[in-house]
């Protein structure tokens, strides 16, 4: 089973809202990732968690706040977003950082 699940599938939020994206995997993977993908572009790495510790932050604005409560779960907390933050947010996981990554279906975020 190589499934990564993400909720919600779609999210519309105003610029003053606070919301969270959730990601879950049950493959025993110890590395988890958040990517942002704009239309017709490749995914851009945002954060990497390795063994539940943040190991990479790609200079992401503080209005995005990641959290890894345990080895199976990854959250992305959103606050005071801008319309340009509208995108597909993808979660991925891998056995460790040097193995192939498996992606979830994504959350389509629209900021109004």
Partner 1 sequence: AQSVTQLDSQVPVFEEAPVELRCNYSSSVSVYLFWYVQYPNQGLQLLLKYLSGSTLVESINGFEAEFNKSQTSFHLRKPSVHISDTAEYFCAAFQGAQKLVFGQGTRLTINP
53 makes contact with partner 1 (CB under 8 A)? no
Shortest distance, position 42 Cβ to partner 1, whole Å: 4
Q: What is the largest CA-CA distance in the chain?
A: 38
| C-beta closer to partner 1: residue 17 or 50 | 50
40 makes contact with partner 1 (CB under 8 A)? yes
11 makes contact with partner 1 (CB under 8 A)? no
Shortest distance, position 46 Cβ to partner 1, whole Å: 11
66 makes contact with partner 1 (CB under 8 A)? no
* Gyration radius of the chain's alpha carbons: 13
Distance of alpha carbon 109 from alpha carbon 112, whole angstroms? 10
| C-beta closer to partner 1: residue 42 or 83 | 42
- Other beta carbons within 10 angstroms of residue 94's beta carbon come to 19
CA distances from 7 to 12, 17, 99 (A): 13, 17, 24
Shortest distance, position 92 Cβ to partner 1, whole Å: 8
* DSSP per-residue string spanning 5-32: EEE-SEEEE-TT-EEEEEEEE-S--SEE
Shortest distance, position 83 Cβ to partner 1, whole Å: 21
Question: In this chain, which of 50, 71, 72, 86 binds partner 1, going by CB under 8 A?
Answer: 50
């Amino acid at each position: 089973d190589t499934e990564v699940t993400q909720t919600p599938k779609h999210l519309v939020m105003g610029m003053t809202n606070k919301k969270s994206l959730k990601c879950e995997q049950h493959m025993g993977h110890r590395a988890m990732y958040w990517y942002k993908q704009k239309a017709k572009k490749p995914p851009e790495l945002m954060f990497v968690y390795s063994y539940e510790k943040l190991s990479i932050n790609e200079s992401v604005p503080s209005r995005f706040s990641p959290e890894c409560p345990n080895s199976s779960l990854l959250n992305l907390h959103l606050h005071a977003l801008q319309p340009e933050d509208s995108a597909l947010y993808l979660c991925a996981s891998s056995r460790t950082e040097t193995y192939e990554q498996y992606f979830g279906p994504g959350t389509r975020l629209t900021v109004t």
